[in-house]
Amino acid sequence: MIWNERPTLAGEHVRLEPLELHHTEGLFEAGRDPDVWTWLSVFQPADVAATRDMITSILADPARQAFAQIDACTGAVAGTTSYYQLDARNRILCIGHTWIGTPWQRTALNTEAKLLLLTHAFDVRDANRVAWETDINNTRSQRAIERLGAVREGILRGHRIRKEGSIRDTVLYSVTKPEWPVVRDRLAARLAETTARPATPATRLV
């Protein structure tokens, strides 16, 4: 059944391949900047061994399909992303647990990864709904999700426990199947614009 598969999704700038232990060293290198981990649910791994343990834990989660984000030009591991909370019967899922290393932020790789994940969800899995959950204090993530065209549905109060123990409210967003064509065209246009411009701080897009 396609909802149980972790496919490889390939684009011009990024390749999303099933996360495996052989990505350990590359993922550790990509995540060296502490700022990458500010809003994530896990602490920054201290070394390669801790990164391997993190990946092992991810792969043990039956409700998550994790991908390594690979720079298609260099072959370097740029980060990771996941489908999670998959419900094949109702054809709904979430996208999250996403991060990329500092060199790839606000680049075509980031934009294309979103387009690949959404295209596979809606056009291959025939999803009815794709959702995102983000920390109420993570305004940067909220702005990025809103720029996709996702609808802000509300706030889930007391929804998570942050890694340091505080209680987190979660902002919930979604795109539904009827909304997908507009979101797809918006992402495709952004990807074309990102690709056409030099990758400088002044011109990169989220």
Model confidence pLDDT, tens digit, residues 100-157: 999 999 899 999 999 999 999 999 999 999 999 999 999 999 999 999 999 999 999 9
Closest CA to 96 of 171, 32, 167, 192: 171
What would the two tokens of residue 40 be? 């994530």
Report, as an integer, the average pLDDT of 15-33.
98
| pLDDT band (50, 70, 90) for residue 194 | confident
**Residue burial 49-71, b: 16+ Cβ < 10 Å; e: rest:** eebbebbeebeeeeebbbbbbbb
Give residue-wise pLDDT tens across range 159-183.
999 999 999 999 999 999 999 999 9
Give the whole-number percent of the chain exceeding pLDDT 70.
Answer: 95
Q: 2-196 domain in CATH 3.40.50.1820?
A: no
pLDDT of residue 202: 33
The phi, psi pair for 99, rounded to 5°, reads -155, 150
Q: Locate the domains of the chain by residue range.
A: 2-196
Residue 97: per-residue pLDDT: 97
Please report, to the nearest 10 degrees, the dihedral formed by the alpha carbons of residues 176, 178, 180, 183 taken in order. -100
Given a cut of 80, whether residue 198 has pLDDT beyond it is no
Segment 48-73, tens digit of pLDDT: 999 999 999 999 999 999 999 999 99
Q: Does 10 score more than 90 pLDDT? A: yes
Tell me the pLDDT band of 197, cut-offs 50, 70 and 90. Answer: low
